[in-house]
A and B are shown apart, each in its own frame.
Chain A
Amino acid sequence: MAIPIYFFRKYKTGLVQSTLVATVRMIVQLVLIGLYLKYLFQYNLWYVNLLWGIIMCAVATFTCVQRTHIRRSILLVPVTIGFLTTALLISIYFLALVLRLHESMNINLSLDLLFSARYFIPIFGLLLGNMLGVNVLALTTYYEGIQRERQMYDYMLGNGATRWEATAPFLSAAIRKAFIPCIANMMVMGIVALPGTMIGQILGGSDPNIAIKYQMMIVVITFVASIISLMATVALANRRSFDKYGRLIEVFGK
């Protein structure tokens, strides 16, 4: 870390302190999580794992609201619902219907299996991480767009557009901005960038072909979860973002 800090200081970027704080936080958090996960995996109780998933979701929600700078009263509930329902549904779908854990283990499908620490926590975390990045970028672009192009928004409403029709171009721009990096990443996956899940599996001793299959499935579910969570969040947040005349209220602030 001395090298980046040297350049940050040399070019007076103002990033030295935040880099040091972030590094210390990362170490402390990961050590604590490591300790926690050890017990989580050891006891492996489905309701404790689910509770941990909900805590992860709460942290992701607060981080999302904080980074977008959109008022909590508007975004907190929509993001919570969007993240939690999407991550739960996609995790369950992936574990029960795609991986078919119960069939490969020759046991009955149960809550213990669906919410087992070994499968549920990593998948749930992976989904939340991707949804967080996409939602922050898309929600910021969406609301900034409507605010900046208010005349265009008014033009559409004033010529008979429904609120959904009038917000559609802004949502389209937000989706493009958030998903173009994901698509670009997919384009070069395996050639320029070797993805994390695959590397982790290979380093852990898995057959590369199995690792590639997992990677493909992970890419697809994170992509799908990101768009579903965004659509759910926007649909719910729209109800709180506009007044009775369809005008965007003051969304940015605390």
Chain B
Amino acid sequence: MLKISKVSLSYGSKQVLRDVSFHLERGELGCVMGESGCGKTTLLRTVMGFEEFSSGCIEVDGFVVSPPTIDSLRQRIAYLPQELSLPSPTVWDMVRLPFSFKANKGVELTEDLLLREWSLLGLEPRLLSHSPNAISVGQRQRIMLSVCGLLGKPLIITDEPTSALDNDTTLIVANYMKMLARERNAAVLAVTHSHILADQCDKTLHL
């Protein structure tokens, strides 16, 4: 599903990624770990086509990351950036946003489906009508992770999905991500500093 082969990336004279290789299949949960500033987020952004690598190759579901294929490639990914904040009036509006895109038109979203995901993530239904500014960062991370789950894409990429969570909730999220991999047959990749999440992963890339 995801093949990263000998990818290198530099900003001017500063080499951020050097010959990074990693692969992840559907049904697997993987994570990227390393010190702050070592290029973890950059690697995810490179897979998404938001950063250009100088050498190597990245493939997603058979599509090589390149300008002609980038739109098709992104349609196969559910992406959750770090500490995302959307200026939506309510949480429900925030959740609905990616389902309004043409590429996701066939994907079903109902309150029932969403609340079923939320029950797995320890979220209360009353949050649905709240303003995104009135909920905590940790709640927002889990809400947006549930969106990734509902989009039903073969590859899910998340950047520090547990950075604002306590250990117990981190374990809940880790189990949810594992469920997405095992039961929904997705390849799930997360950047994380959490060993609780890393312990649940099938593969770990240390940068």
**Beta-carbon contact of A156 and B81 below 8 Å:** no
Nearest CB on A from B64, distance (A) = 13
Q: Which range holds the interface residue count of chain A?
A: 10 to 19
Nearest CB on A from B2, distance (A) = 14
B residues less than 8 Å from A162 (CB atoms): 71, 101-103
Total A-B contacts with CB atoms under 8 angstroms apart: 70
Interface residue SS majority, chain B: mixed
A205 at the interface (CB under 8 A from B): no
Q: Which range holds the interface residue count of chain B?
A: 20 to 34
Nearest CB on B from A182, distance (A) = 23
List 19 additional contacts besides A159-B151, A165-B100; criterion CB under 8 Å.
A151-B85, A155-B79, A155-B84, A156-B98, A157-B48, A158-B50, A158-B77, A159-B74, A159-B77, A159-B78, A160-B74, A160-B104, A161-B101, A162-B71, A162-B101, A162-B103, A244-B70, A245-B50, A246-B71
State the B residues within 8 Å of A (CB). 45, 48-50, 52, 67, 70-71, 74-75, 77-81, 84-87, 97-98, 100-104, 151, 157
Instruction: List 8 A-B pairs, minimum CB-CB distance, nearest first.
Output: A158-B79, A160-B103, A244-B67, A159-B98, A160-B75, A245-B49, A161-B101, A158-B48
30 contacting pairs across A/B (C-beta < 8 A): A149-B87, A151-B81, A152-B86, A154-B45, A154-B48, A155-B81, A156-B98, A156-B101, A157-B48, A158-B77, A159-B74, A159-B79, A159-B98, A159-B101, A159-B104, A159-B151, A160-B74, A160-B75, A160-B77, A160-B98, A160-B102, A160-B103, A161-B98, A162-B103, A244-B67, A244-B70, A245-B50, A245-B67, A246-B71, A247-B50
State the A residues within 8 Å of B (CB). 149, 151-152, 154-162, 165, 169, 244-247
